[in-house]
Structure 1
Amino acid sequence: MEKQRGKVLVTPRSLSRDGHPGLQLLVDEGFEVLMPWPGKQPNEGQLLEVLPACVAYLAGVEPIGERVLAACPELKVISRNGVGMDNVDLAAAERLGIKVVGTPGANSQGVAELALALLFDGMRAVSYSDLHMKEGQWSRRKGFEVTGKTLGIIGCGNIGQRLARMAIGVGMRVLAYDVYKDANMEKTPGFSYTELNHVLSGSDMISLHCPPGKKPLLDAQALSTMRKGVVIVNTARDALVDHAAMLEALESGQVTTYATDVYDKEPPELDALLKHEKVVMTPHIGGFTEESVERATIAAVQNILQAIG
């Protein structure tokens, strides 16, 4: 009998619940695939019970801290089925010789399309109208047409560029801020790079596609510089937004709608902001499409096979 090459822990909820043909590639290469928590995000205690016996980890968005990593002497690689790495203690992983890899671009189209859908929802109060109709209320909120409006994109990498092209295609102008400028995007009619403060003050809608910093990007000061009635979409990270400041901006009318697909923990604890009727929530479905899951799973598996050799 061929010797097992080691155990691989798989925790992304879509994979652990439904499985995926791409995981068979690991089995075919002699690995034992473990999915002990179907459809659920593991906590630190659960990871400590299983991960130390594994050589590879196909990880979701659960926090992966130094305590867990230090307990895993056999672990060679953490492969994320997405682009974000901020849930992993990268410094500890590097110190312990654990490779951390992602699948950049695999879910970009899915996230960009969701961001566009949420922008339309915010401009036309779709979720707001649905909620009130189901409560027996004929409550209409006047919307805005997107043609001729300006969309601000903060973080214009793979996802932001895809969103920009779609937005321009339906008649919007796009202002974008990014540390790195793409030469091809600069040539696109209707698109222009500018400074962050100009994106904030010059946009009718703003979509976030950047990593978080040490403090929220959209705090009270930033929100105060925006056009009154702005629609804000967040498919990046919850930490980009100051909840108290956003709540105040919604109450004052400075922000018409805040739509989010991301949270500090999943499922989230519903605070005053998330319960607000002008907030639209989706359960982290940006990359949860047939196509995105397929691309990300295959890429994550290939990353494991390449890392272990």
Structure 2
Amino acid sequence: MIQNVFSTTDKKTWLLSLLLSGLLWSNWVNAAPYERIVTLSPHLTEMVFSAGAGSKLVGVIAYSNYPTSAKTLPIVGTYNALNLEKIIQLKPDLILAWQSSNQPKALERLQQLGFKVELFEPRKLSDIPRDIKRIGTLLNTSHIADITANQLTTTLKTIKRQYQGLTKVRFFYQIWDDPMMTVNGQVFISQAIETCGAENIFAQQKILAPEVDTETVLKRNPSVILLGGENAVQKIWRQNWLKWPQIDAVKHKQIYLINTNHFQRPTARLIQHLPELCQRIQKAR
């Protein structure tokens, strides 16, 4: 006959310990770093690599073209058309999404299917290093992410000190030609150029990417014209502006072609290449 060697008190203590150990195990599992990541924005793809976690990516959104290794990853659709079947097939344990660009219904559907979705919404330059740190925390690569983020923060502080208090240089940034479009002061590229001690002639427009006309650009007379858009059209746009020698930017040969991969995404590259852009702006001062 087997005797009961536990007293009532011992039983309670043993059961409590067992319960607590189970809870601790559960919490440890839940806190385990994510290993299979899908990104729903090209800039988030870049940020994952900047955070030192590129090897954990199993799927990316279309146009995720940097770094080169990102081009080899499975595509899970576009902003407007996610391939849910592909995402399910990839079995991600974490999905990184851009709150204002990805379709809310699609994100809601992913959550209904049981996927963990983390939302990002960068609005200013300082959000770039902040988000890289956040990704590093999520993916257990803070030892790399924090170094990258701190370097970017230092670069921003250095630029601000260097150009603070200088005469403002008025600039026009073109992103499309038919109809002609620019950006207002809330867009990342505008904020970046303003860090160089410059002033967007359309900063106060209510729409992020307003349509403008040549006549208004002539009246506001920018000292610098910066041309975004695809490489194939930038030189054509520059030729079109050369027809207006009364604009200061044209008169003083201050028209520059911008690498949009560097400056039209809120990524580490935007800050890393900002000193080069500031040097161009400085020439017009």
Larger radius of gyration: 2
Question: Which bracket does the TM-score occupy, shorter chain normalised?
Answer: 0.3 to 0.5
Task: Specify which structure has the bigger relative contact order, considering alpha-carbon pairs within 8 angstroms and separated by 6 or more residues.
Answer: 1
**Normalised by the size of structure 1, how large is the TM-score?**
0.36
**Normalised by the size of structure 2, how large is the TM-score?**
0.38
